[in-house]
Amino acid sequence: MTIANILSIAGSDPSGGAGIQADLKTFAARATYGMAVLTALTAQSTQGVSGVHLVPPAFVAAQIADVFSDIRVDAVKIGMIASAEIAEAVAGALSRHRGPPVVLDPVMVAKGGASLLAREAVEALTLRLLPLATVLTPNLPEAAALLGEAEAADRAAMEGQAKRLLALGPKAVLLKGGHLPGGESPDVLATPDGLRWYEGVRVLTRNTHGTGCSLSSAIAAELGKGRPLPDAVAAAKSFIAGAVRTSEALAVGSGHGPLHHFHALWA
């Protein structure tokens, strides 16, 4: 069986919990070969982001072009974009390669509260990248920012926002409900065929750094292996649940710790 090649286009997290580092760990844990195009360098730890250094847009495009010129790409995950210019560069580069599925995780704010997407970049992301997405994977604050609405506070509001995000151009939307109050963490998948809910139990832990990055990467890995989207989401949700549930096995930092990406592989 040919191993799937998955490309992440995202920012770097030197603490290893989120961004490119989490993406590559996820790709490996899901039995795929990971590749990485850097859009930004961050100075951060489990306690937050203290600085961001953007990669020049032309160099982001050059990285993407070189990967596609030499390597079969079975799926693409897009994470931290940071600026309108980088969004334009990524969209322009990917528009030349419309075959692989694209998972777009609209990273806007880090766990510690630092903004990771310039305000003017939201429009570029919406207009240029959403139409390229096989699936968009926002959390509730990100969905609200993309729509210019208040954050959803219940399932009915989530369904409405998922449908409105779908109308912006992606083929599907997975709206993540981790910010809802209560003990459940449900997600809703909106496609032209309708809505599907994925249930989840909230795990009481501070180790949630990189959860969104890792979920979108796991979906990309499963799509790259040829799974249909509903099954890819289910497999990715199960993987993340296990990674969060076993995260106490790690001792990384004093803030929001990382997931245990290799929980199924390490004794």
User: Which residues are identified as catalytic?
Assistant: 176, 208, 210-213
Where does residue 245 rank: exposed (0-12), middle (13-18), buried (19+ CB within 10 A)? Answer: middle
Q: Residue 188 — φ and ψ, nearest 5°?
A: -125, 130
Beta-bridge partner residues of 78:
9, 104
CA atoms within 13 A on the CB side of 29: 27
The order of strands in the sheet holding 194-198 is: 48-54, 33-45, 5-12, 75-78, 102-104, 135-136, 173-176, 187-191, 194-198
Q: Residue 101 — φ and ψ, nearest 5°?
A: -65, 150
DSSP output for 121-140: HHHHIIIIIGGG-SEE--BH
> Integer distance in angstroms from the first to the last C-alpha of the chain?
26
